[in-house]
């Protein structure tokens, strides 16, 4: 029996997964955690990770490293996505994390991130037709077109729930003009990048905080339940209804109805608009939600010994 911890440092959240490969070969998620640190706060302006948010991230990473030891993990893998790909001070961030926590960081390329998200989202699912895995993050969005276990094409755009919120949604609640500008920008950006891949897919699978949070809201959950969220079929009509509802609410009102992840309350609207636009342009009436994305994909690769990974001393 092997145990691997994967820590994913994203623009909005730092996520923890303990995965286990049983003697029979089955890979299972044993424990998950999420902390809304928002390392990418205002990174779009200067491309610099702020010292205050880095300190918060280091505190969380120390707690995660301790938890991994308590849970008898054989290995710890730490990866980062768009937030550090885009950061001008990524080397300083990497050094600070290694010095303070003993954890070694790997900044995933767009291709590596997309491949891991696809492997995680499609693991254990039979896909006879072409499918798109959609990963909406805080700083970027990836669409991965595949068939069965084969990735056909990958496209990534620098559109994410955090960046879009900071750029367009300044009022509380957002004004109709801000929402119109947000929608127009999204549609213009995805027209020649993501839409061509969407047109070639028969079905859509969604991973990431925006999609799982909307699924939890659709299910009426007060506590996040990965078993209920994973596999949930989210209707486009329900996404529009939820979006119409929350766009009229103030931030404090959104926080009340988002007890499962109140730290995402200010960015959920931008993420919902992005998801809605992608589904509309791809003519998808539903999206299958997957709670297993990037972290699970990294764990699968670790168990198959196809990547290098390090355990801190």
Name the percent of the chain lying above pLDDT 90.
77
pLDDT above 90 for 88? yes
What CA dihedral angle connects 36, 268, 86 and 121, to 10 degrees? 80
In CATH, the number for domain 2-110+294-303 is 3.30.420.40
Could you identify the residue written with the tokens 């209707």?
Answer: 235
Asked if residues 154 and 202 have their Cβ atoms less than 8 Å apart, the reply is no
CA distance 64 to 120: 21
For residues 146-164, give the mean pLDDT. Answer: 90
CA distance 85 to 169: 24
pLDDT digits (tens, 9 = 90+) for 186-206: 999 999 899 888 888 888 999
Between 36-50, 152-166, 282-296, the lowest mean confidence (pLDDT) is in 36-50
Tokens of 65: 């490293």
DSSP 123: T
Q: Rounded to 5 degrees, what are φ and ψ at 37? A: -80, -35
Quick one: 71 exposed, middle or buried, by C-beta within 10 A (0-12, 13-18, 19+)?
middle
59 contact partners, CB below 8 Å, separation of at least 6? none
DSSP 84: H
Omega before residue 15 within 30° of 0, cis: no
Domain ranges of the chain: 2-110+294-303, 125-289
Predicted pLDDT at 253: 94
pLDDT digits (tens, 9 = 90+) for 286-313: 999 999 899 999 999 999 863 333 333 2
* Parallel, antiparallel or unpaired: strands 286-289 and 233-235: antiparallel
- In this prediction the pTM is 0.90
Strand partners, 16: 7, 33
Strand partners, 2: 21
Distance (Å) of CA 136 to CA 104, 141, 182, 193: 25, 5, 16, 15
- Domain 125-289, what fold? Nucleotidyltransferase; domain 5 (3.30.420)
The per-residue pLDDT of the chain, averaged, comes to 91
Predicted pLDDT at 296: 95
H helices present in 152-311, as ranges: 161-168, 176-191, 195-198, 209-219, 226-229, 236-246, 251-257, 268-281, 294-303
pLDDT above 90 for 231? yes
Domains 2-110+294-303 and 125-289 share a fold: yes
Orientation of helix 51-70 relative to helix 90-101, angle to 10°: 40
Quick one: 53 exposed, middle or buried, by C-beta within 10 A (0-12, 13-18, 19+)?
middle
CA distance 279 to 97: 38
CA distance 269 to 66: 34
């Amino acid at each position: 029996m092997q145990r691997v911890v994967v820590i994913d440092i994203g623009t909005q959240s730092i996520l923890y997964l303990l995965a286990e490969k049983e003697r029979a070969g089955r890979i299972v998620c044993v424990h998950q955690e999420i902390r809304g640190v928002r390392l990418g706060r205002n990174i779009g302006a200067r491309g610099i990770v702020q010292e205050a948010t880095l300190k918060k991230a280091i505190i969380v990473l120390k707690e995660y490293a301790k938890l991994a030891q308590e849970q008898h993990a054989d290995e710890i893998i730490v990866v980062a996505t768009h937030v550090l790909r885009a950061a001008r001070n990524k080397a300083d961030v990497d050094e600070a994390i290694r010095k303070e926590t003993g954890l070694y960081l790997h900044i995933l390329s767009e291709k590596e991130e997309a491949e891991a998200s696809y492997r995680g989202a499609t693991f254990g699912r039979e896909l006879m037709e072409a499918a798109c895995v959609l990963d909406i993050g805080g700083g970027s969005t990836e669409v991965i077109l595949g068939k069965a276990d084969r990735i056909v094409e990958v496209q990534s755009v620098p559109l994410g729930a955090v960046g879009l919120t900071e750029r367009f949604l300044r009022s509380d609640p957002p004004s109709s003009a801000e929402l119109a500008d947000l929608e127009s920008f999204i549609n213009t950006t995805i027209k020649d990048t993501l839409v061509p891949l969407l047109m070639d897919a028969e079905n859509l699978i969604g991973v990431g905080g925006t999609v799982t949070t909307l699924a939890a809201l659709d299910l009426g959950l007060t506590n996040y339940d990965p078993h209920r969220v994973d596999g949930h079929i989210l209707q486009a009509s329900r996404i529009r209804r939820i979006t119409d509802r929350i766009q009229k609410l103030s931030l404090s009102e959104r926080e009340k109805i988002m007890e499962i992840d109140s730290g995402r309350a200010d960015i959920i609207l931008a993420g919902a608009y992005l998801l809605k636009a992608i589904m509309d342009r791809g003519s998808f009436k539903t999206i299958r939600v997957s709670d297993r994305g990037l972290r699970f994909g990294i764990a699968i690769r670790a168990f198959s010994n196809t990547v290098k990974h390090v355990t801190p001393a």
